[in-house]
Amino acid sequence: MIKVTVVTSSPTNAHQFAIPLSDSGLLVTEDALTQQILDLHKADKTPGTAARVLVGENIALVIGVGTNYKARDFAAAAVRAASDKAPLILRANSAAEAKALAEGAVLGQKTPAKFKKDSKTQIDVQIVCAEKVDISREVSLANTIVAIRELINMPANELWPEKLAKEAKSLAKGLPIDVEIWDERKLEKEKCGGILGVGKGSVRPPRLVKLTYRGGGKHIAMVGKGITFDTGGLSLKQPLSMIGMKYDMAGAASVLGAIVGAAQLGIKANITGFMCLAENMPSGQATRPGDVLTLRNGKTVEVLNTDAEGRLVLGDGLSLASELGPDHIIDIATLTGAASVALGKRYAGLMGKGDAISLAKNAAAEADELLWEMPLPAELREILKSDVADMVNSRIGAPAGGMLVGGLFLSEFVPKDASWAHLDIASCANNDSAPYSVYPSGATGVMIRTLIEMAKRA
């Protein structure tokens, strides 16, 4: 874990200190770090890289920042390079920079692992700043995101719909958030056929968690996909594709993190969140290809692919959100593998309509998270036509524009004049490579800061 404090001067005892190395050289003067020394230790200006240099009894961590110094990313890289044997010193030229450093330091840490004995380390980060600065809000939000990452990283035998609902209630405890948990009987009463249809195959029944935060101001509805494990159902995934499917509840966890974070910060917005939770399993009770489900808004869906289940649970959640008449509707989901094909491993896809699109773009820019707008081409809607129902959930053998077709399906569950943003985070919710920016390996918690920024700006 990370302990972060602000101090007015560096400690006199042995410590580590981080210095940014840009394309133009060191951004902080340090006489001992000559070019010859930097070359000897193979210091690299590539963002996120680190070289350790002995300076007297202290260690200099030379952190590459490339052409564009970003305090959050710099602090995150420094934490990843630091030892837990001595304090890590970061220098800030302003209160704003100190806050960004504090947030980056907490976000950059390796996510604690419940089942790994050597995962509990304590790094003491001290930010040297001449100004008086309160970093409590930044640290609190960052710690919430770390907690959400821990939740997303949990294996499916430790986290199922009912358990995730309880975790949501626990994280919201003590905050001005009302938590309502719908069991399978309530879901049936409320005609949530999508969530029920996806969850039918599991011995662990589905849940819906409704979170309500009343901070005043505009009303935002957030809907998250929460498949605690996705086997593909009877349309069973290949073994390799099934690895990592514990991350398929990242959208719902992100909604939880955003509302908890908004409440912690006292953001002036009214937020209603819907966590749509199910486990997608094959069994004698499971939904079959060709079955027809009736979702909350009355639309019927012929299920041709039980592995296109996220859009079914979101259909119910978006219908419930739409009934509230909010100013903006946002859904977030690890929806399509096609998102990675189109956008790689770091960008989230953005689709939708109305003011929510510019709101999402501006919020992502402020949060420094990568978001790319994609179209919703009308001609692809033909793929979703059904002979026996209002629509199909997926068309086998029609891979073109898979991410976009997912967005088109969801558009059927929001009003035509809605301000709606759909965030497909299948590409970046889980980082299966080396850490980058403020994101560790494993669950990234991506877009939580963007969602909170959207609430601020709404």
- Let me know if 381 is a catalytic residue: no
| Nearest CA-CA partner of 277 in 350, 204, 212 | 204
Q: Which two tokens stand for residue 371?
A: 């978001």
Helix ranges (H only) for 17-135 are: 35-40, 71-81, 95-107
- Rounded Cα gap, residues 343 and 163, in angstroms: 33
Can you name the residues that pair with 60 across neighbouring β-strands? 17, 53
- Burial of residue 337 (number of CB atoms within 10 Å: 0-12, 13-18, 19+): middle
State the Cα–Cα distance between residues 64 and 396, nearest whole angstrom: 46
Among residues 80, 311, 395, 449, the one annotated as catalytic is 311
Q: Is 237 a catalytic residue?
A: yes
**Number of DSSP helices (H) and strands (E) in the chain, helices first:** 14, 20
The backbone region for 97, taken as left when phi is positive above 0, alpha when psi lies in -120 to 50, beta otherwise, is alpha
C-alpha closest to that of 157 among 105, 114, 112, 196:
114
Select which of 210, 237, 299, 457 is catalytic.
237
CA dist., res. 269 & res. 255, Å (int): 15
Residue-by-residue DSSP string for 248-306:
GGHHHHHHHHHHHHHHHHT-SSEEEEEEEEEEE--STTSPPTT-EEE-TTS-EEE-S-T
Q: Give the residue numbers annotated as catalytic, written as ranges.
A: 237, 311
